[in-house]
Amino acid sequence: MLRFILSRIGMAVPTVLLVAVVVFFLIRLVPGDPAALLLGDMASPESVAALRSDLGLDKNILTQFAIWLTNVFQGDLGTSITTKEPVAHLVIERFKVSAGIVLVAVALASLAAVPAGFIAALRQNSKLDLTLVSIAALLLSIPTFWLGLVILLIFGLKLGWLPVVGYVSVAEDPSRGLLYVLMPILTLFLHEIGVLLRMARASALEVLRLDYITHARAKGLPERTVLWRHVFPNAFAPTLTLIGLVLGNMLGGIAVVETVFTIPGLGRLLVDAIFGRDYPVIQGCLLFIAVIYVLVNLIVDLCYPLFDPRVKIT
């Protein structure tokens, strides 16, 4: 087990380093000077040059990268150009908001989609199966931002049940805070339930056609035993992998939903940093997202043997 974990971490380190290199150098290709944006159009060239020197932007790009990477290995992601706050503190605080929304949405989508997918597979080509597959296809075809706007229009403006703008932390005021995150959670839940349902259904159908399932039924095992002992563990393993991928993708791609619902999460922080040319925040956010993505997939790999007896970790 330890050797497997170390090998996975060893494979993840080059990935994270590659992300760090690509992010750092691509950001420098974006037009716009952070110093000029901070000082405004009326600033003198001397003032802009002095600020660039204070921010370290006057150094060679390779020198900037070496300094930044050295600080990252020491746990220092830098300081925000616009707010002067430590990037690590900003990222962690905003990540708490995004993680709460994403984890709840993925958990609810998994609890709803996996049983629905298995039921659809057991009743293949029935009206229930066709209905579930059609709903999944419809939800997959709707863009996240449009789905969020529709939910905002219905529950926020038309019915007036939920607040349209603003945010209150659930930790500070659970009852009010829950009202502000219900619509983002519902948006992500509806968007991801389609892909998870289709995967669960396809995996279950594949396992149900295998010879050992026919053999188990021929031995006279009760159908319930066949499903729970042989079908579910083997069919759930691919779905578990997809859940891990969905979780990582949502943590990195929640910016659209957070922008629609004005949620101050990690995605919103990244978007604001891009518009403000805040290099340290952009680099810190993307590097943090890459690390989280790698960790989520490592956890999924470690959970694989719990559901698929064919997988052994040594």
Total-model pTM:
0.79
Please state which of the four CATH numbers 1.10.357.20, 3.40.50.970, 1.10.3720.10, 1.10.287.1080 is assigned to the domain occupying 87-306. 1.10.3720.10
Q: Which two tokens stand for residue 139?
A: 């939800």
* pLDDT values of the chain reduced to their tens digit, one per residue, 314 residues: 667 677 777 777 788 888 888 888 877 776 666 666 666 666 677 777 776 777 677 777 788 788 888 888 888 888 887 888 888 889 898 888 888 888 899 899 989 988 898 888 888 888 888 999 898 888 888 888 888 889 989 988 888 888 887 788 877 888 888 888 889 999 989 988 988 898 888 888 888 777 777 777 777 777 777 777 777 777 777 788 788 878 877 776 688 888 888 888 888 888 888 887 788 888 888 888 888 888 887 777 777 666 555 555 55
Position 108 scores a pLDDT of 92
C-alpha–C-alpha distance, residues 119 and 113, integer Å: 10
| Burial annotation 214-234 (CB, 10 A radius, 16+ → b, else e) | eebeeeeeeeeebbeebbbeb
Position 203 scores a pLDDT of 86
Write down the domain spans for the chain. Answer: 1-74, 87-306
Position 312 scores a pLDDT of 55
| Burial annotation 94-115 (CB, 10 A radius, 16+ → b, else e) | bbebbbbbbebbbebbbebbbe
Position 310 scores a pLDDT of 55
